[in-house]
């Protein structure tokens, strides 16, 4: 069975160049970058090169790059590391649609006595930066707002928000895990103080992340240990993975154009064809300010897990915001925050593409999806009811 992988917002294939670059560091080049001898020194040099590549990709200085174990660690470190630096301030601002790596840290802090304010989103998943103006108080310690949403791909106006945040002199963090590699990021021209990225979302392996920390930003280490990462993150450097994410960032920079042309064309093609061939389907999220690779689409009167498993049976790998797929009983918090009606929220499917996808694959999906939806609608008690009421009208 062929595999059509369109779940790249969940994780991506490790680029062959990335893997190749990493391999020597599992075998002959096993030195510790902190060692005084040549054997460690040669590895340190390569770690620094990787740091330069990441910095170059983000438009940052190498000294502003901290390697972590994953996107979640970067997010945790950004929040907790900032709170630790301003112990007297007890208010955080975030959004209702964050990834759990931010959302659940904020819930945890809420239980610990912090005041958490969550910005709402509209039906298209958009934020209103003006809402923020009223909310920033003297006791606000940090504003953390994701760059682009993992489920819908909606891109937030980070720099517009940043202007407001910086005018009040508050630290500003973003979870850019989904944005990195899909839209240009340039920290030299940014209002951001901190930014999180994750390796495995941009064709590096799982188990490596980056936290960008602008020079001069107050920060206490989250992972306490040795002097590594200039004292900002203890623990011996995960050398092979650092090499991997360095290479992945170099490739991501190179492929950014393709991501915004060819990949976007494929996504738009998939979207158009699905909307043409399946009735009662609707795109979730702002279609203008959206990542070029993401399509979140709802099919009314059917349930997402069923769609996914029938797709999976044909080798098509996507994901869903339905309740049943998450192990929770309610559909995705993102779709609920947007006010997507229940008729559609349970039947949402996310297709997320990468540069490795092809037009043939899109055609395969477009050919196979309509019968799947029809089959489930034939089983669903609500579809016939809907058709009846529709005819009456």
Q: Which residues here bind another protein, judged by CB under 8 A?
A: 301-306, 309-310, 313, 322-325, 327-331, 342-343, 346, 378-382, 384
**What angle (nearest 5°) sits at the alpha carbon of residue 256, between those of residues 250 and 257?**
130
Task: Name the helix (H) or strand (E) containing 164.
Answer: helix 158-167
Pairwise CA distance, residues 78 & 222, whole Å: 8
Q: Is 174 helix (H, G, I), strand (E, B) or coil?
A: strand
Question: Which residues, at least 6 apart from 297, have a Cβ–Cβ distance to it below 8 Å?
Answer: 271, 274, 275, 281, 282, 283, 284, 348, 349, 350, 351
Other Cβ atoms closer than 10 A to 41: 14
Tokens of 120: 């709402």
Of 70, 249, 317, 324, which one is the catalytic site residue? 324
Pairwise CA distance, residues 172 & 104, whole Å: 18
Contact predicate 198/209, CB 8 Å: yes
* 329, burial (CB in 10 Å: exposed 0-12, middle 13-18, buried 19+): exposed
User: Which of residues 217 and 306 has its CB atom nearest to another protein in the complex?
Assistant: 306
Q: Cβ of residue 75: shortest distance to another protein, in angstroms?
A: 24
Tokens of 84: 């630790």
Nearest to 270 by CA among 301, 246, 292, 237: 292
Q: Cβ of residue 256: shortest distance to another protein, in angstroms?
A: 32
Nearest to 310 by CA among 360, 384, 382, 379: 379
Pairwise CA distance, residues 259 & 185, whole Å: 14
Instruction: Note if 70 is an active site residue.
Output: no
**What angle (nearest 5°) sits at the alpha carbon of residue 333, between those of residues 267 and 140?**
110
User: Which of residues 241 and 383 has its CB atom nearest to another protein in the complex?
Assistant: 383
Q: Is 18 helix (H, G, I), strand (E, B) or coil?
A: helix
As separate numbers, helices (DSSP H) first and strands (DSSP E) second, the chain gives: 14, 13
**What angle (nearest 5°) sits at the alpha carbon of residue 146, between those of residues 141 and 150?**
150
User: Which of residues 273 and 336 has its CB atom nearest to another protein in the complex?
Assistant: 336
Nearest to 69 by CA among 231, 178, 229, 199: 199
User: Which of residues 199 and 321 has its CB atom nearest to another protein in the complex?
Assistant: 321
Nearest to 303 by CA among 240, 250, 380, 233: 380
Q: Locate tokens 């694959």: which residue?
A: 361
User: Which of residues 30 and 382 has its CB atom nearest to another protein in the complex?
Assistant: 382
Q: What are the residue numbers of the active site?
A: 324
């Amino acid at each position: 069975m062929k595999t059509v992988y369109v779940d790249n917002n969940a994780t991506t294939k490790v680029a062959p160049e990335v893997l190749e670059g990493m391999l020597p560091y599992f075998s002959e080049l096993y030195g510790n970058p902190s060692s005084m001898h040549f054997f460690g020194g040669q590895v340190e040099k390569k770690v620094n090169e990787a740091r330069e590549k990441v910095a170059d990709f983000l438009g940052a200085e190498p000294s502003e790059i901290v390697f972590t174990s994953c996107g979640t660690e970067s997010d945790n470190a950004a929040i907790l590391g900032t709170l630790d630096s301003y112990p007297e301030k007890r208010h955080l601002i975030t959004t209702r649609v964050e990834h759990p790596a931010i959302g659940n840290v904020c819930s945890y802090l809420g239980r610990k006595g912090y005041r958490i304010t969550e910005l709402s989103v509209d039906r298209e998943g958009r934020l209103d930066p003006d809402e923020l103006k009223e909310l920033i108080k003297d006791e606000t310690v940090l504003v953390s707002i994701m760059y682009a949403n993992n489920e819908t791909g909606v891109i937030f106006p980070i720099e517009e928000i940043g202007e407001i945040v910086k005018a009040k002199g508050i630290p500003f963090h973003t979870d850019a895990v989904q944005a990195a590699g899909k839209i240009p990021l340039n920290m030299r021209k940014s209002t951001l103080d901190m930014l999180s990225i994750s390796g495995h979302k941009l064709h590096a392996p799982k188990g490596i992340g980056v936290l960008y920390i602008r020079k001069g930003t107050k920060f206490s280490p989250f992972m306490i240990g040795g002097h590594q990462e200039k004292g900002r993150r203890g623990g011996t450097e995960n050398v092979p993975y650092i090499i991997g994410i360095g290479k992945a960032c170099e490739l991501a920079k190179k492929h950014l154009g393709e991501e915004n042309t060819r990949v976007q064309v494929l996504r738009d093609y998939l979207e158009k064809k699905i909307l043409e061939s399946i009735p009662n389907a609707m795109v979730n999220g702002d279609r203008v300010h959206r990542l070029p690779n993401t399509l979140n689409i709802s099919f009314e009167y059917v349930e997402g897990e069923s769609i996914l498993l029938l797709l999976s049976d044909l080798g098509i790998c996507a994901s869903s915001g339905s309740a049943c797929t998450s192990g929770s009983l309610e559909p995705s918090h993102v779709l609920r925050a947007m006010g997507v009606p229940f008729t559609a929220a349970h039947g949402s499917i996310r297709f997320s593409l990468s540069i490795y996808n092809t037009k043939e694959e899109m055609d395969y999906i477009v050919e196979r999806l309509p019968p799947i939806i029809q089959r489930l609608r034939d089983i669903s008690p609500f579809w016939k009811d809907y058709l009846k009421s529709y005819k009456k009208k």
